[in-house]
Chains A and B, each alone.
Chain A
């Protein structure tokens, strides 16, 4: 069967201190065979890229607060523009923290409640499948993805939480909360449904050799939404 040519053009942002940029690039380029490029944080434009990945890591050494410095980097201005125009943006781990700091997603991520760095595979429930990120998980209630973070404890005020629930913006919840996150939140999207932030790493679960392929469908859903 011939593969339909994908219209997705992925851009993976690279900040000083990013360390999941290559995981994302590898999964998208070599496993999902997508047009994928790195975008250096000093660039002022995302160019022709239509899906932006803000990867995990320790951008700017996590100085001041996770994601606080990265949000002011040159490339983020264009990422914010892209998001405001309805373009797809996915923030993973440190990327989620950056999107919260940038105001593209509500709330913030604070230190894990037990103060420990958590690094393991965790079961997640998919709370919303009517969106461009999880549409292809039909029939799947639960998936397993790796987490690796010390600041993944999602926090927002009560009104924001109610709004997240009302507008079905909570995409993933932990089955067994590893970090103290409010309402077991593992991933949320914005109201428009074009910006996703999540602490677990779908890009690290795209081939059997890494003991899991549950992350694949997330990217396949995004690819399908553009074709």
Chain B
């Protein structure tokens, strides 16, 4: 069993008004050394796959087909194999 942790953000070239607004708030707290604040989505899912490669392929497919819209979003993900204890727990 594998866990996929997926992050989806607006593409770098696109202005992220939510990120900008939050950045202004952070700066008003006194943290002047903050920049390039981006807000995105985090998706976590479990995949019953036979190998890390298969889990990778499935996750990439899901991202392309549904989770991210390539016109406006980029995605990155990390796949980790669950330990036996984690599998038993779930």
Chain A residues with a Cβ under 8 A of chain B: 64-65, 68, 72, 100-101, 107-108, 110-111, 113-115, 155-157
Contacts and interface: CB of A to CB of B under 8 A. Distances in A.
Contacts, number: 29
Given A68-B66, A110-B10, A155-B72, 19 more contacts: A64-B66, A64-B67, A65-B69, A72-B66, A101-B69, A108-B69, A110-B14, A110-B72, A111-B17, A111-B18, A113-B15, A114-B17, A115-B17, A115-B18, A115-B21, A155-B14, A155-B71, A156-B71, A157-B71
Given A110-B10, A115-B17, A115-B21, A68 B69 contact: yes
Interface of B: 10, 14-15, 17-18, 21, 41, 66-67, 69, 71-72
A108 B71 CA distance: 6
Contacts of A157: 71
- Which of A111, A156, A157 has the largest number of chain B CB atoms within 10 A? A111
Nearest to B41: A64
Most A CB contacts (10 A, CB to CB) among B14, B67, B72 go to B72
19 contacts: A64-B41, A64-B67, A65-B69, A68-B69, A100-B71, A107-B71, A108-B72, A110-B14, A110-B72, A111-B17, A111-B18, A113-B15, A113-B17, A114-B17, A115-B18, A115-B21, A155-B71, A155-B72, A156-B71
A165 to B, nearest CB: 18
Contacts of A107: 71
